């Protein structure tokens, strides 16, 4: 079998295994390292919320990069380390010289840090980030429901301060899964909040 035929066969197996919904091809658009990371993070977070399991991230081998240095590949490898610490990724394996298979962590891994109790909780007035203040009442209600469910699972008390802090934390996590070019950001956020709640209820 020629090398070209071998590559085509390998790609055919990948397409059958992952399909378009579980494949991020960064090689095709030739982004910079920073652009690749900006595209990859919300995609991986969204795929985690969709409970996609294993996904394929194609970076290319960097043969066309200046000096032959695979800057996109290294930027994505660094991003994987960050997202693993944040509970987005469970494991990463090199698939080929230009791609990785990423095993996404369960959704609950995003929320498994037990919140610390506030001192003088009743006297602390919560302050929302401006992005959270801008949300409509239905989205805030969904976030509050998710925060309360998360605290229950973690065995933390439902004090007003902790519920607020959990809402802010979840908003920060889930908004990172909304692509920068999303036209209906709040609608997408509602979908992600409901998906996170479903993940808690299903476990």
- Which distant-in-sequence residues (6+ apart) come within 8 Å of 136 by Cβ? 186
Q: Which helix (H) or strand (E) covers residue 174, if one does? A: helix 160-175
pTM (whole model) above 0.75: no
Fold category of 3-105 in CATH: Ribosomal Protein S8; Chain: A, domain 1 (3.30.1370)
Convert the pLDDT of each residue in 89-146 to its tens digit.
999 999 888 899 999 999 888 877 656 555 444 444 445 678 888 899 999 999 999 9
Beta-bridge partners for 96: 99
Backbone angles phi, psi at 104, to 5 degrees: -80, 145
Q: Which helix (H) or strand (E) covers residue 106, if one does? A: none
Whether the predicted pLDDT of 73 surpasses 60: yes
Q: Look up residue 20 and give its two tokens.
A: 């378009």
Q: Where along the chain do its domains lie?
A: 3-105, 113-202
């Amino acid at each position: 079998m020629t090398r070209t035929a071998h590559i085509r066969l390998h790609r055919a197996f990948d397409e059958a295994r992952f399909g378009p919904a579980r494949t991020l091809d960064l090689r095709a658009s030739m982004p910079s390292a920073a652009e690749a990371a900006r595209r990859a993070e919300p995609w991986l977070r969204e795929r985690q919320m969709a409970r996609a399991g294993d996904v394929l991230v194609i970076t290319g081998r960097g043969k066309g990069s200046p000096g032959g240095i695979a800057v996109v590949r290294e930027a994505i490898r660094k991003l994987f380390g960050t997202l693993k610490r944040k509970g987005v990724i469970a494991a990463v394996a090199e698939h080929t010289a230009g791609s990785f298979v990423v095993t996404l962590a369960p959704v609950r891994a995003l929320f498994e840090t037990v919140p610390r109790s506030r001192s003088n909780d009743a006297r602390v007035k919560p302050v929302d980030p401006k992005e959270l203040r801008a949300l409509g009442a239905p989205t805030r209600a969904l976030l509050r429901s998710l925060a309360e469910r998360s605290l229950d699972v973690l065995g933390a008390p439902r004090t007003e301060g902790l519920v607020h802090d959990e809402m802010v934390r979840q908003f920060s996590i889930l908004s990172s899964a909304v692509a920068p070019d999303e036209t209906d950001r709040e609608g997408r956020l509602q979908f992600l909040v409901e998906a996170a709640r479903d993940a808690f209820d299903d476990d």
